[in-house]
Structure 1
Amino acid sequence: MPSTVIPLLVCDDSAMARKQLIRALPADWPVSITQATQGEEALQAIRQGLGQVVLLDLTMPVMDGYEVLAHLRDEGLKAKVVVVSGDVQEEAVRRVSDLGALAFLKKPADPDDLRRTLAGLGLLVPSTAKGPQTPPRAEPVLTVNFRDTLREVSNIAMGRAAALLARVLGVFVQLPIPNVNIFEVSELHMALTDAQRGERLSAVCQGFIGDAIAGEALLLFHDSEVADMARLIGVQPKGERDTSEMLLDLASLLIGACLTGIAEQIDVRFSQGHPQLLGQHASIERLIHLNRTRWKKTLAVEISYSLEGHDVHFDLLLLFTEDSLARLTDKINYLMG
């Protein structure tokens, strides 16, 4: 292998994200590509000399991107890191910079932005006619499935929603890895019961439809945390009506941002209904009973936000109708192609 070839490590738990990022690489950049699916794998590859340049995700299982950057700093490893993440909170950008990342790009990385960033950092040294010619880069074969792709689409969408929430509340939002599952009504009941954690809930529902894709977004608030949310927003609800309005406003912000993020990626336009308070201080059994006719078999995307330094969580479920699966599959397959 010519000495001009740069060892590049692409680290992301999503095969879809790695595929998109590798496709976005400059075609004339002579690199050898290694992939890692989480932070521990990335560190092992870097220690072996396989990550002179690293394109690093933040939200991953086992060891996330923040931990990778901290280990690189503590071990004195010289990898040059560009973070590529769906978590676009201003605080996330500041934290990775403090930990030594050279740049931050939002997902999905635009090829032109990636090229400019690499060139600006002096990391992109294209092959030239005068120098040794680098053989055409062998693109790795990546198998990407529907669930992984929808999870990555949801990951990007939830990151945009978190950035809005962070600005409104003045907090750092901790992001999970979304779950994507097909549920029967009984299984949905179990998932919601788990989300309840033995507490009383208030729930907001908002319907959406567009291009033969329809469903409902369900946002669960834990009643024990509502007072903390009010303090963060800087309001003092004087009764149930004020509390309901606050929950509806927060739900509209989170649900709207998530749906917009998904719609932009799969090239649809969703019309959204007005958010409705399904129940306040209700048990999960009551919420399920009230909506049993709506929730049969559903494709569910589960996202659980939490606020750093506060005992506040938001459990968001995007429930796509069974009739939507064919069209949604077509849209996802196009992204996977």
Structure 2
Amino acid sequence: MDVLVSLIPLVVCDDSNMARKQVLRALPKDWPVAVTEAVNGRQAMDAIRQGLGQVVLLDLTMPEMDGYQVLSALRAEGLKAQVIVISGDVQDEAVRRVHELGALAFLKKPFDENDLRQTLAGLGLLAQPGQAPVPTRLATNTAIGFHDAFRETVNVAIGRAAALIAKVLGVFVQLPVPNVNLLEVGELHMALNDVGSSQQLTAICQGFIGSGIAGEALLIFHDSEIADIAHLMQRQSAEYSDLEMLLDLSSVLIGACLSSIAEQIDVVFSQGHPQILGQHAAIEELIRANSKHWKKTLAVEISYSLEGHDIRFDLLLLFTEDSIERLTHKLAYLMN
């Protein structure tokens, strides 16, 4: 006679199809769960209110309602969900905050099956040995496209970069959901010309290339905020100019972002020296030198802001059209 197994209601909440698929694949095969997927915090809260989320695997950076807001809402409504955060935002302060808000554990993206199993076992959430067999869990057949796979790769990278900037500046960096678009060369030209002609912005550009993948990284600062950035960096010497400071900050942020992307797709990027756009590298030169590659451009737009400060800087990662096929090949294992 078969023994019925009581399934644990589980919510997997992440705005990325690929991230949800990775979590579902990593669930222990012997864990008796009934899975509900949510693409943002609102959907997760609706599911939890319906009793579908005794355990919740929760992302932090999402549109509409993020993970911090979900944790706050759970506390405010007195809902008893056991939450494990799985996030690319690896700032020490992010980890501290989610624990303060009631999360039981924090897993850093990317993670593997052993990380999740050990975390679940440590929290006593796995089935005890000798229980009835677990019903066969339906495999997820969600098709993952290049856009989603690449955006999730970038999401992990910007979290790593933010953690470094947080330590350098002694602040909490508020992470965005990255925008990934394929731009025609005319759109790119207009966007870069706006940056190059602005008197209120300073842009740092840095080229990169490796394994058939090439492009430019641009970090854009608002001139009105540079004095505040200098204060956060505790600049001690007047000989350390604004431009030197911005170049150093750019080197940290761009380098961390590119190295994380490279690590995830198993390539090595060679990076040029960061330069001030419009001074050492004119916008026209940047476009002319790359025009044969830039019929279309894979553009990643990331806007960082610093909590408690009126400071924001924008990072643009521009990959040549020729790079897209190679990136797709490198991401194929994530898309299957």
- Normalised TM-score (structure 2): 0.93
Give yes or no for contact 1:266–1:335 (8 Å, CA) kept in 2: no
Which residue does the alignment assign to 2:141?
141
Deviations 1:219-251 (A, max 9, x none): 111111110100000015637x71111111001
The code of the aligned residue for 1:98 comes to E
Distance 2:58 2:6 in 1: 22
Identical amino acids, percent of aligned pairs = 65
Which residue does the alignment assign to 1:289?
284
1:213-292 paired onto structure 2 within 5 Å: 213-235=213-235, 238=238, 242-279=241-278, 288-292=283-287
Measured after TM superposition, the shift of residue 186 of structure 1 is 2.3
1:309-320 paired onto structure 2 within 5 Å: 309-320=308-319
Distance 1:195 1:99 in 2: 40
The code of the aligned residue for 2:180 comes to V
1:104-253 paired onto structure 2 within 5 Å: 104-125=106-127, 128=129, 130-191=130-191, 200-235=200-235, 238=238, 242-253=241-252
RMSD between superposed Cα atoms in Å? 2.2
Distance 1:199 1:73 in 2: 47
Which residue does the alignment assign to 2:82?
80
Give yes or no for contact 2:196–2:283 (8 Å, CA) kept in 1: no
Give yes or no for contact 1:230–1:236 (8 Å, CA) kept in 2: no
The code of the aligned residue for 1:261 comes to S
Deviations 1:117-154 (A, max 9, x none): 1111111115x4x4322212112221211111111000
Give yes or no for contact 1:214–1:320 (8 Å, CA) kept in 2: yes
* Structure 2 unmatched ranges of 5 or more: none
Counterparts in 2 of 1:197 and 1:20: CA distance versus 1, 3 Å: farther
Distance 1:184 1:24 in 2: 38
The code of the aligned residue for 1:67 comes to Q
Which residue does the alignment assign to 2:30?
28
Secondary structure of the equivalent of 1:96?
helix
Distance 1:199 1:70 in 2: 41
Measured after TM superposition, the shift of residue 2 of structure 1 is 3.7
Secondary structure of the equivalent of 2:85?
strand
The code of the aligned residue for 1:221 comes to F
Measured after TM superposition, the shift of residue 292 of structure 1 is 2.4
Give yes or no for contact 1:85–1:106 (8 Å, CA) kept in 2: yes
Distance 2:4 2:11 in 1: 18
User: How many residue pairs align between the two structures?
Assistant: 330
Give yes or no for contact 2:165–2:253 (8 Å, CA) kept in 1: yes
* Structure 1 unmatched ranges of 5 or more: none
Distance 1:98 1:299 in 2: 39
Counterparts in 2 of 1:194 and 1:268: CA distance versus 1, 3 Å: same
Counterparts in 2 of 1:69 and 1:166: CA distance versus 1, 3 Å: same
Distance 2:96 2:222 in 1: 30
The code of the aligned residue for 1:222 comes to H
Deviations 1:86-140 (A, max 9, x none): 00000001111111000000012221111111111111115x4x43222121122
Is the aligned partner of 1:59 residue 2:68? Answer: no
Measured after TM superposition, the shift of residue 204 of structure 1 is 1.0
Secondary structure of the equivalent of 1:10?
strand
- Normalised TM-score (structure 1): 0.92
Measured after TM superposition, the shift of residue 192 of structure 1 is 5.0
Counterparts in 2 of 1:158 and 1:5: CA distance versus 1, 3 Å: same
Measured after TM superposition, the shift of residue 188 of structure 1 is 2.1
Distance 2:237 2:186 in 1: 36
Deviations 1:176-229 (A, max 9, x none): 000111112321245457889976211111111111111111111111111010
Distance 2:136 2:56 in 1: 21
Distance 1:174 1:69 in 2: 17
The code of the aligned residue for 2:301 comes to E
The code of the aligned residue for 1:109 comes to F
Counterparts in 2 of 1:56 and 1:194: CA distance versus 1, 3 Å: farther
Deviations 1:19-69 (A, max 9, x none): 111111111111111100000000000111111100000000000000000
